[in-house]
Amino acid sequence: MSRARVILHLVALLAPLVAASAWCLLVYRSNAAGAWGVVAVVGGLAALSAQVAALLRWRALDRRARAGQGAWLAGIGMAAITHALFGVLLDAALVLSLGGWREAAGTGRPSDLLLQSLFFFVMSIMPVGLVTFPATALFATWIAALRRKELGHAVA
């Protein structure tokens, strides 16, 4: 496995946990000890989402590296997939914790689950996405350059 891909997945694991920790410490300033449960759930789901996004977008990132193009668009795609999947996974965790979709959905209609997922997606974008979308685009550009260097060394 390439070094660039290992770094991509390592950052996709750690960055969401750091972001969740920072956010929870800001929100739970007066009860920092109680924030760690939220960090575990939110950070864990965010890290899982970021790992899936990295898996899904690696081929596009690698293709751009091979072509010598910038990978900022692949990074935006990774951030979008991460936040959308986070909304779905957080909703699924809510449904499971409340004992089923009828208890978790406002009116008991399945369409409410879609609205809840959309709500969690939008809420993850508002405070955190303002930083993570451009940061992920820059990071993907750096990973593509690192991958390009690896490919250059592999040819030589």
Model pLDDT for residues 60-91, shown as the tens digit of each residue: 999 999 998 889 999 999 999 999 999 999 98
Closest CA to 136 of 15, 4, 5, 14: 15
What integer best gives the mean pLDDT of the chain? 86
Specify the pLDDT at position 66: 92
The answer to whether 28 and 38 are in contact (CB under 8 A) is: yes
Percent of the chain with pLDDT over 70: 90
Distance CA 117, CA 85 (A): 9
Q: Hey, how many other C-beta atoms are within 10 angstroms of the C-beta on 25?
A: 13
Model pLDDT for residues 106-123, shown as the tens digit of each residue: 666 677 777 888 888 888
- pLDDT at residue 128 is higher than 80: no
Burial class (CB in 10 A: 0-12, 13-18, 19+), 33: exposed
Enter the pTM of the model: 0.87
Higher-pLDDT residue of 141 and 132 is 141
Please, what is the angle between helix 110-124 and helix 72-98, to 10°?
A: 130
Higher-pLDDT residue of 102 and 54 is 54
Specify the pLDDT at position 112: 76
> CB within 8 A of 87, min separation 6: which ones?
117, 118, 119, 120, 121, 122, 124
Burial class (CB in 10 A: 0-12, 13-18, 19+), 107: exposed
Distance CA 88, CA 118 (A): 8
In this prediction, residues 17-22 reach a mean pLDDT of 88
The answer to whether 5 and 58 are in contact (CB under 8 A) is: yes
